[in-house]
Amino acid sequence: MADLLIELFSEEIPARLQSSAADNLQKLMTNGMVEAGLTYASAAAFHTPRRLTLTVEGLLDASPTVFEERKGPKVDAPEQAIQGFLRGTGLSMDDLEIRDDKKGRVYFAKITKPGRPATEIVSEVLEAIICNFPWPKSMRWGSGSLRWVRPLHSILCLLTSESECEVVAVEIDGIVAGNTTRGHRFMAPDAFIVKSFDDYEAKLKRANVILRAQERSDLIWQDATNQAFALGLEVVADPSLLNEVSGLVEWPVVLLGQIDDEFLGLPSEVLKTSMKEHQKFFSVSNPKSGNIECFVTVANIETVDKGVTILQGNQKVLSARLADAKFFWENDLREAKAGMVGWQASLENVTFHNKLGSQAERIQRITILARELAISVAADPDMVEAAARIVKADLSSDMVYEFPELQGRMGRYYAIEAGMCMDIAIACEEHYSPLGPSDDVPSAPVSIAVALADKLDTLTSFWAINEKPTGSKDPFALRRAALGVIRLILENDLTLPLLSVLGRANKGAGAEDLLVFFQDRMKGYLRDRGIRYDVIDACTAMPGNDDLTLLIKRANALQQVLATDDGENLIQGFKRANNILNQAEAKDGVEYSYGADIKFSESNIEKDLFTALDSAEAKIKATMATQDFTTAMAAMATLRGPIDAFFEAVKINSDSELIRRNRLNLLSRVKKTCLAVADLTKLEG
């Protein structure tokens, strides 16, 4: 048994690529070795800004010898076939054995594949992996032809067993593998020899490199929260930033600094975004006020002055950045207080899409649509119109130009400064929502109206110019917009027949086609909520299927009743009735749809079905009027007993044609009643 240690040492690897690269190194290397017969006990990969490391334990010293027997052609087969077999097996005529087979005498080849030493296999697999590594973006350097994410400087490749420690012979584009690595770029730059993984990790730590990313991020987080705690403050959690920062350092040193007083008046979103995007700083807030007061930066070095110079420098850079932000904020406030007219006007010069005109034209469309939708969402039309006119004004602001991700957020601040009411200010922020499937859905009426109009305009406009999503391509995020509309309608329980709304939004959009797109999204949405796809089909087949709230009520009711014993049996009864009826209608060439009369009943069981239908139909009719599908389905489910009893006791094909027809007409009543809520014929099973 042997242990393998590989380190690929390069110039700084982008933080966002490190972890998947380490995973790939492990996966490709272990797969390659196993394919070559070299099994192992365990493996783990690590990454720092300058190295990808793989350790494999319990590796075979050599791949096992493999014996293989292969059946060849018959002895009297044409010479060509025999020669081909020899070529394929790499043997000569004398090596072949002749055996009796069912079909006659046949050649057999016994092939022995001798095992190969681990060093040979490791060297081969590693060279192939380095030359074809799946970097999302790679580069050449100098005069070489090797591609790596940044210039690759050295390769460490060691096989260690109890008795010895051997460098595996690997050479790629002039880089010869060895048994040395280097420590921290500035704190311990000299090369040193390593003997095993444990030795490697320990020596790296002495040379100011923490190999494990998790260890680095734990250390950063712990130290940051401790320092903040000592000041009565809290670090604002940001896992993605923590992840990134731990990929930028080999020796993390946490430094906490203060934000200059003159910037503390900036909105916390601005402080957070500016510090994170530009400087990769964590925000530190005062839990009493919720304000951001300090920052945490993570340096990659310990200095004799305990980081004082570094912190001063960072503070200075931050002040310059925030001075910019403050300049933008103050400019923007002036414009906001003046009513944002200039911003609205300048949106006339901003192209939304070259076939769809300017942002201003788009806002005009959204405003008209939002006003029309106001009634359906119980919002004040005038307020909705006022909101729609300004919700995108902040796109012209300096702050949003600098930080596009603050769109809407800034709009809210500016609307308040402009003296708008809170509903409008909130709509500025919320009308983009929901962005993703887990995003919160606005519930304020004005926000709902504008959010719907915004998304519906996007959808119908791009539909009208035939820019529909295809396959994985959805450059205008239309699927997201449709899902947003669905969630706005459903989670706010809105009655909004889509077909007419889509037609009103844009006559050229092809509302029918777009509705199908919506229904596909709707299916996904319902599936994610555990609704069976055949239930969705059964409900989509009903009239009024462009009213999504109606659709989901139906689907929920049907799914609920299907989960009960009565429900499931009712479906069976319905299907039986439907089949018999269909066959009879096909055979007789008539439609049995009317006139079942209780007076032709021959038994109480048959009469019971009539009475049960009478009572169920009345209930269904009443409950359907209020769209109470659950009660309707429950009423329907009560038919299960009478239907089952009817099929058990009554023969449809009576000798009397009159009675037969009456019974078929009765089945037709069963069918009609059962189809009141959903098209049960679409159900499976």
Partner 1 sequence: MDTPKSFQEIIMRLQAYWSENGCAILQPYDMEVGAGTFHPATTLRALGPKPWAAAYVQPSRRPTDGRYGENPNRLQHYYQYQVLIKPSPPNLQDLYLGSLAVIGIDAKLHDIRFVEDDWESPTLGAWGLGWEVWCDGMEVSQFTYFQQVGGHDCRPVSGELTYGLERLAMYVLGIDHVMDMPFNDPSAPTAMKYSDVFKQTEEEYARWNFDVANTDVLLRHFEEAEIECEHILSQAHIDPKMAKKIIMVHPAYDQCIKASHVFNLLDARGVISVTERQAYIGRVRALAKKCADAFVQTAAGTA
Nearer to partner 1, 299 or 551 (CB): 299
- CB proximity list for 129: less than 8 A, separation 6 or greater: 25, 28, 29, 32
Binding site for partner 1 (CB under 8 A): 11-12, 14-16, 49, 137-143, 149-151, 153, 186-187, 248, 279, 281, 297, 299-301, 303-305, 307, 309-314, 316-318, 320, 323, 327, 349-351, 354
How many Cβ atoms sit within 10 Å of the Cβ of residue 264?
16
Rounded to whole angstroms, the Cα distance separating 432 from 441 reads: 10
The residue (of 317 and 333) whose beta carbon lies closer to partner 1 is 317
Residue nearer to partner 1 on the CB measure, 49 or 183 = 49
CB of residue 558 vs partner 1: minimum separation in angstroms?
Answer: 49
Radius of gyration of the chain (CA): 37
C-alpha closest to that of 155 among 121, 187, 131, 185:
131
Distance of CA 489 to the CA centre of its chain: 22
Q: CB 145 → partner 1: shortest distance, Å?
A: 9
H or E element that contains 553: helix 548-562
Q: Residue 471 and residue 601: Cα distance in Å, rounded? A: 58
Q: Could you tell me which of 383, 482, 484, 474 has the C-alpha nearest to residue 431? A: 484
Shortest reach from residue 16's CB to partner 1, in Å:
7
Q: How far apart are CA 228 and CA 215, in angstroms?
A: 20
Choice between 100 and 261, CB closer to partner 1: 261
For the CB of residue 142, give the shortest distance to partner 1 in the complex, in Å: 4
Q: How far apart are CA 404 and CA 186, in angstroms?
A: 37
Q: Is 164 exposed, middle or buried (0-12, 13-18, 19+ CB in 10 A)?
A: exposed
| DSSP code at position 279 | I
253-258 and 180-182 as β-strands: parallel, antiparallel, unpaired? unpaired
SS3 state of residue 685: coil
Cα-based angle 546, 549, 552 (whole degrees, multiple of 5): 95
CB 305 → partner 1: shortest distance, Å? 7
User: What's the min distance (Å) between Cβ of 458 and partner 1?
Assistant: 18
Q: For partner 1, give the closer residue by CB, 168 or 248.
A: 248
Nearer to partner 1, 177 or 677 (CB): 177
- Taking the least distance from each CB to partner 1, the nearer of 116 and 150 is 150
SS3 label, residue 491: helix
The C-alpha torsion from 546 through 548 and 550 to 551, rounded to 10°, is: 90
The residue with tokens 């109206």 is 449
**Interatomic CA distance for residues 654 and 211, integer angstroms:** 86
Which lies closer to partner 1 via its Cβ, residue 302 or residue 380?
302
Question: Please, what is the minimum distance in Å from the beta carbon of residue 407 to partner 1?
Answer: 16
Q: Give the whole-angstrom CA distance, residue 171 versus residue 175.
A: 5
Specify the residue, 303 or 500, whose C-beta has the smaller distance to partner 1. Answer: 303
Supply φ then ψ for residue 504, to 5 degrees: -70, -35
Give the residue with the Cβ less far from partner 1, 324 or 608. 324
Q: Phi, psi at residue 584, to the nearest 5°?
A: -60, -45
Tokens of 538: 């059964």
- How many whole angstroms separate alpha carbon 323 and alpha carbon 311? 18
Q: Which is nearer to partner 1, 142 or 530 (CB)?
A: 142
Distances from the Cα of 623 to the Cα of 18, 493, 571, 577, 611, angstroms: 60, 18, 20, 24, 18
Q: How far is the CB of 179 from partner 1 (least distance, A)?
A: 20
What 3-state DSSP class applies to 172?
Answer: strand
Query: 376: burial class by Cβ within 10 Å (0-12, 13-18, 19+)?
Result: middle
Strand partners, 38: none
Stretch (H or E) spanning 305: none
Distance from C-alpha of 663 to C-alpha of 607, rounded to nearest angstrom: 11
CA-based nearest residue to 6, from 155, 213, 199: 155
Decide: helix, strand or coil at residue 156. Answer: strand
Least separation in angstroms between residue 298's CB and partner 1 is: 9
With respect to partner 1, which residue has the nearer C-beta, 255 or 428? 255
CB of 143 to partner 1, least distance (A): 4
Query: Which CB atom, from 2 or from 152, has the smaller least distance to partner 1?
Result: 152
Beta carbon nearer to partner 1, 64 or 136: 136
Q: What does each C-alpha distance from 320 to 227, 268, 277, 297 come to in angstroms?
A: 25, 17, 14, 16
* In the complex, minimum distance from the CB of residue 408 to partner 1, in angstroms, rounded to a whole number: 20
Q: How far is the CB of 246 from partner 1 (least distance, A)?
A: 13
Nearer to partner 1, 223 or 417 (CB): 223
Q: How far is the CB of 682 from partner 1 (least distance, A)?
A: 48
**CA quadruple 664, 666, 667, 668: dihedral positive or negative?**
positive
Residue 141: CB minimum distance to partner 1, A: 5
- Minimum separation from the CB atom of position 238 to partner 1 (A): 17
